[in-house]
Structure 1
Amino acid sequence: MKTEKGITRPAAGALKSGAALLMLALLAACGKQEQAASGQALASVDGKEITIHQLNAELGKGGAREANKQVLDGLVARQVLVNAARKEKLDADPAVLADMERARDLVLAQSYVQRKLAKPTRPSQQEVSTFYDQHPDWFAQRQQYEFAELVIDRASVNEELTKMMVGVRPLEEVAAWLQKQHIPFTRLQVTKTSMDLPPPMLAGVKKMEKGQLFIVNEGDAAILAALADVRNVPLSRAAATQQIEQYLANQRQGEITEQAVARLKADAKIVYFDSAKTLKDNSVAPVADATSPGKDAAAGAAIR
C-alpha cells in the first residue's frame, strides 16, 4: 500500500539499485582519471583508487552532512559494479552508451539551469496563505481514499463484466466471477489523498459511495476498482507551509526555465524533419470521468 503525502510527486543514497545504479556508476567512472595524489586515496578496488574528492562530491549530491564509512562503502560498491560491467564489456554496448550520453545531456542541462538562470524569490507568507485557502482539497479538507483493485487484461472485459462493475457491490463478487471464468487477475490496494488525484477524477470520486465500482482502462490493462474507504486527513496551515513554499518555488523555477528555453530556441536553428510529423501530440491528454465504467482515463495512473 502506498500513501503519498507531498505536493511534489516522486532522497537518494550513495548506492542505487538495479539498472539505475549501474548506469550512474558507469557514467561516473567513464573517461580517464588522474592518479590520486599521495594521501588523497581512501580505498582501492582492484587497483582503482577512491579519493577524498570523490567522497566529498558524493556528500554534496547525497545530502549527507559529514563523511562517513557508509558513504565510502557506497562508493566501493559502485566501483565493484563498474569493474564488473567493464569486464562484461557493457561500456561498449550501444544501448548503454546511448543511456550514458542521455545522462550526460541531462546533467549539462540541469547544470545550466542551476548556474546560469536566476533563482526564484521566496514566496511571501501572504502568497502561502492564499495558496492554502485556494486549495482546500489539498489541505484543510484533504481526504484519503483507499481503492481495492483487480487488474486484468483489457481484452477480457466483456458486456457481462461491464454490467457487474456498475453501482455498489463487494469487489469479491467480481473476483469470484473472474475465477469462475478463468480470467487471471492481480490484486492491489492503493491509498491516495485528494491532493494526489487529478481534478476530473477527484470530482468523480467525491460523488462515489463506499463500495462503488468503476473501471479504468490503462494501455492493455483494465483496472476493476472499488472505493474501499474514505477518511478525513486535514493538513493545517502551519504543517503545510514548508510544502507550499517549496511548491511555489519549484513553480517559479519552472517558469524561469521555460522563459530561458523560449529565448534559447529563438536564437537556435531548429529544424523538424518530415519523420517527426507522425508523432502524436500529447500536450492535451483526455481524462475520462472516473464514475464512467469502461472509458479510457489518464486517471488510471492516479489510482495506482
Structure 2
Amino acid sequence: MKIGKEAVRRHHPMAAKALVSAMLLLTLVACGEKKSASSSQVVANVDGQEITIHQVNNELAKTGGSQVTKQLLEGLVARQLLVNAAKKDKLDTDPAVLADMERARNLVLAQSYVASKVKAPTRPLDQDVEDLYRKNPDWFAQRKQYEFAQLIIAGSNLTPELNRLMDQPGKRLEDIASWLDSHHIQYARQQVVKTSADLPPQMNASLKTMERGTLFVVIEGQTAILTSLQDVKSAPLSLAVATPQIQQYLVAQRQNQASEQLVERLRKDAKVEYSEQAKSFKDLSVVPAAATGTATTDKDGVKNDAISRGVAGFK
C-alpha cells in the first residue's frame, strides 16, 4: 500500500512550538541598529560593535538564567563575531536573509501582541486532567511503543512491480532489500521508534491489528520509505506520571484557543482580500474522500490504503 503524507494533518498533542531561531534573527537585526552607548553601559567591544549591559540583561531574561555569567557574555561576543562576519560577506543585503529577518520581526511582533492581549490561562482542574487521560487511552493508559525498520529509496524507484512485491504475503524487509540489490537500486536503512501518542488515530487503529513483519510504504515528498513493523511493546503512563504533561497540554490548548479568538475578532474588523492564485491553494482542513477508509487503486495499479495514511506521521 502507498501512503500519501499530504493527507495527514498535524496530530501530536504534546508538541510545543518555539521561536528560538526567530529571536536569534531579530537579535541580528537589532545588532545592526545599535546606537553608541555610554562607557558605563558597554561591557565588551567587538571590532567597534558595542555590547551593553542592557543586552546582557535582556539575554539573561530570555534564557531564564538567574545571574550574569562570563559564559553568557562570551555567547554574545560569539554572536557579534558571526554578525560582523555575515555583514562582511554582505549577507545583510541577501534577499533570502532579509526575508528571514522580516519574518522574524513579524513573528515577534505578533507574539508580543498576543501576550499583551491574552491573559494567561488558569491552572487546569484535576477533573479536566482526569477527563483527558480517560478519553485518550492510546496516549496514556494503553500507550504502545512501536519499532519500525525502514529502507529509504527515491520515489521514482517505487514501481508497480515493487509495490506488488511489498504486498505479497510472507515477504520480509530483507527480501525487499535483496530485490533492490538485484535491481541496483540504492537505499538507506534506518530504525524508528514511536509510541501511540506520537501517531495519528488512523495509524493507531491500523497498528492494533497489524502483525509484526507487515510491510507498507510511506511517501515523504520525493522519497519512498519501505517500512516493516518490527516490534510492539506495552508502555502505559499512569495518571500521576501523565498529569504534568496533560496540564501543559491543556494550558497550551487554551492559549491557542484564546489566540484564535483574538485573530477572529481582528479579522472581523479588517478587510482581507485573496488573489485568484490564493483561492486555488489546498485546504488541509478538508478531509479527502479517500480518507473515509476505503481502498482505491491508482492508474498504475498501485493500491492506496487510506486508513493507513497516518503512517506518514511517524517519521
Question: How does the TM-score come out when normalised to structure 1?
Answer: 0.87
Q: Which amino acid aligns with 2:124?
A: P
Give, in whole Å, the separation in 2 of the partners of 1:156 and 1:202. Answer: 28
Give the corresponding residue for 1:173.
Answer: 175
Shift of 1:300: 4.9
Check the 8 A contact 1:285/1:298 in 2, yes or no.
no
Structure 1 residues 73 and 301: CA distance shift in structure 2, 3 A: farther
Give the corresponding residue for 2:109.
Answer: 108
Shift of 1:23: 3.7
Structure 1: 5+ residue stretches without partners: 1-5
Structure 1 residues 168 and 139: CA distance shift in structure 2, 3 A: farther
Query: Greater shift after overlay, 69-78 or 138-147?
Result: 69-78
Check the 8 A contact 1:117/1:256 in 2, yes or no.
yes
Q: Which amino acid aligns with 1:68?
A: T
Q: Counterparts in 2 of 1:91-130, with a 5 A limit? A: 91-130=92-131
Shift of 1:92: 1.1
Count how many residue pairs are aligned between Structure 1 and Structure 2. Answer: 294
| Cα deviation digits, residues 230-260 of structure 1 (max 9, x gap) | 1111111111111101100111111111111
Give the corresponding residue for 1:302.
Answer: 313
Give the match's secondary structure for 1:283: coil
Check the 8 A contact 1:22/1:81 in 2, yes or no.
no
Check the 8 A contact 1:123/1:248 in 2, yes or no.
yes
User: RMSD across aligned C-alpha pairs, in angstroms?
Assistant: 2.7
Give, in whole Å, the separation in 1 of the partners of 2:23 and 2:256. Answer: 27
Query: Greater shift after overlay, 69-78 or 262-271?
Result: 69-78
Give the corresponding residue for 1:44.
Answer: 45
Question: How does the TM-score come out when normalised to structure 2?
Answer: 0.84
Give the corresponding residue for 2:7.
Answer: none
Give, in whole Å, the separation in 2 of the partners of 1:301 and 1:69. Answer: 45
Q: Which amino acid aligns with 2:58?
A: A
Give the corresponding residue for 2:224.
Answer: 222
Query: Greater shift after overlay, 150-159 or 162-171?
Result: 162-171
Give, in whole Å, the separation in 2 of the partners of 1:55 and 1:115. Answer: 24
Give, in whole Å, the separation in 2 of the partners of 1:203 and 1:36. Answer: 62
Structure 1 residues 123 and 80: CA distance shift in structure 2, 3 A: same
Give the corresponding residue for 1:190.
Answer: 192
Give, in whole Å, the separation in 2 of the partners of 1:21 and 1:203. Answer: 40
Shift of 1:267: 0.5
Shift of 1:21: 9.1
Give the match's secondary structure for 2:74: helix
Check the 8 A contact 1:168/1:209 in 2, yes or no.
no
Give the match's secondary structure for 1:165: helix
Check the 8 A contact 2:202/2:309 in 1, yes or no.
no
Check the 8 A contact 1:146/1:230 in 2, yes or no.
yes
| Cα deviation digits, residues 190-228 of structure 1 (max 9, x gap) | 111100001011111111111111112232221100011
Give, in whole Å, the separation in 2 of the partners of 1:85 and 1:294. Answer: 50
**Which 4+ residue blocks in structure 1 deviate beyond 4 angstroms?**
10-14, 285-289, 291-294
Shift of 1:12: 8.3
Give, in whole Å, the separation in 1 of the partners of 2:66 and 2:229. Answer: 43
Q: Which amino acid aligns with 2:88?
A: K
Structure 2: 5+ residue stretches without partners: 1-11, 297-301
For CA contacts below 8 A with separation 6 or more, give which structure has more relative contact order.
2
Q: Counterparts in 2 of 1:186-265, with a 5 A limit? A: 186-265=188-267
Give the corresponding residue for 1:9.
Answer: 15
Structure 1 residues 169 and 10: CA distance shift in structure 2, 3 A: farther
Give, in whole Å, the separation in 2 of the partners of 1:23 and 1:236. Answer: 41
Q: Which amino acid aligns with 1:218?
A: E
Shift of 1:171: 1.1
Q: Percent identity?
A: 52
Q: Which amino acid aligns with 2:52?
A: T
Give, in whole Å, the separation in 1 of the partners of 2:92 and 2:58. Answer: 23
